[in-house]
Amino acid sequence: MKAQTLSLTGTKQDEIELPKVFSTPVNKDLIHRAFVNLDSHHYQRQGRMPSAGQNTVAASNDPPTGHGQARVARIRGGGPRRGQAAKVAMVRGGRQAHPPTSEKVVYKKLNKQEKRLALCSAIAATASKDLVSSRGHIIKGIESFPVVVSDDIEKISKAKEISKVMSALKLSGDIERLEKRKARSGRSSIRGRKTKTGKSILFVTKDAKSLSKACGAFPGVDVRAVSDLSILDLAPGSSLVRLTVYTKGAINEIGNLKSRHLELMEALQ
C-alpha cells in the first residue's frame, strides 16, 4: 500500500510505502471499547459524608402504638420541623440508602493487546476517504488518503506560516467549518457551555514541539507526536475517523507499532 507525499506548497513529491499497520481491518466496536476505557481514566471518584442526612435529633415512636402514624424517626423538641420524619432514607432530607463510595473503581479495563489493536485499527481508518467524510470533515480538493506531508512542516512555529501551508494542502475549509458554528441556547448556555469547539485537523509528527505552538490559534486543530498518539485523538467521541495529516518521519515511527494481530499477519505471509 502506497501513499502520495506532498510538499508544503501542495505539490506532489514522491510515493512512500505505508507500513502494515495501515492494512489492519477497521473494527468500530473495538475502537469504541478502547475509547470508553481511556476516557474513563479521568473520571472523578464520588463519595458521601458518613453522617450526611443524619445530623438531626430524631427518634422513633417504637415500641408505643396507637398514635395513628408510622413508626418513623421524628424530630424532637420545638421549631418548625417538630414532628417531621428525619434520618431514614425514605424521607425528605434523610440519608441516602446506598451512597456511592470513593473506594469504588470507576474506570473501565481492557486488555493491552486489544488496546493496541484498536489503535492500529484507528490509524488504518485514517486512510479511508469515506470514513473521514462521513464524520463531517470538509475534504474537497484532497485527492489521496492518508495525507502525508514532508518533514519540513515540523520546523514551523508561527501561525501565519502554518495557515499558508493548510491553504496549500486544501485543509483550511475544515477549520472554517468550526468557525461557522452557532452558539448553543438553553440549559447549556446558562451553565457556561454556550460555545462548543469541535475537532478539526490532527497533525501526527515525530516531534510536536514547534508545530504545536503554530497550531494553538486554530480551533479544533491538534498536534501529537507518534509516541503520544491515542484513540482519544484519532476517534473523538469514539466516532470514526478524524482528518489526520502525517509527516514522513511519523509514518516511519508508526511502522514500529506492533500488535498480536499484525504479528499473525506477518507469520501467515
Residue 124: what pLDDT? 93
What is the pTM assigned to this prediction?
A: 0.81
3-class SS string, the chain = CEEEEECCCCCEEEEEECCHHHHCCCCHHHHHHHHHHHHHHHCCCCCCCCCCCCCCCEECCCCCCCCCCCCCCEECCCCCCCCCECCCCCCCCCCCCCCCCCCCCCCCCCCHHHHHHHHHHHHHHCCCHHHHHHCCCCCCCCCCCCEEECHHHHHCCCHHHHHHHHHHCCCHHHHHHHHCCCCCCCHHHHCCCCCCCCCCCEEEECCCHHHHHHHHHCCCCEEEEHHHCCHHHHCHHHCCCCCEEEEHHHHHHHCCCCCHHHHHHHHHC
What's the pLDDT score for residue 234?
95
pLDDT (0 to 100) of residue 229: 92
Peptide bond into 50 cis (omega under 30): no
pLDDT in tens for each of the 269 residues of the chain? Answer: 888 889 998 888 888 889 888 988 999 999 999 999 999 999 999 999 989 998 888 888 766 677 777 888 889 888 888 889 999 898 988 999 999 999 989 888 999 889 989 999 999 999 999 999 999 899 988 888 899 999 899 999 899 999 999 999 999 888 888 887 888 889 999 999 888 888 999 999 998 889 999 998 898 899 999 989 999 999 999 998 899 999 999 998 888 776 666 666 665 45
CATH topology of domain 2-41+111-268: Ribosomal Protein L4; Chain: A; (3.40.1370)
User: What does the alpha-carbon distance between residue 228 and residue 145 come to, in Å, rounded to a whole number?
Assistant: 22
Task: Say how far apart CA 246 and CA 161 lie, in whole Å.
Answer: 18
State the pLDDT at residue 259. Answer: 62
User: What cell was used for 202?
Assistant: 490532527
pLDDT at res. 266? 62
From-to residues of CATH 3.40.1370.10 in the chain: 2-41+111-268
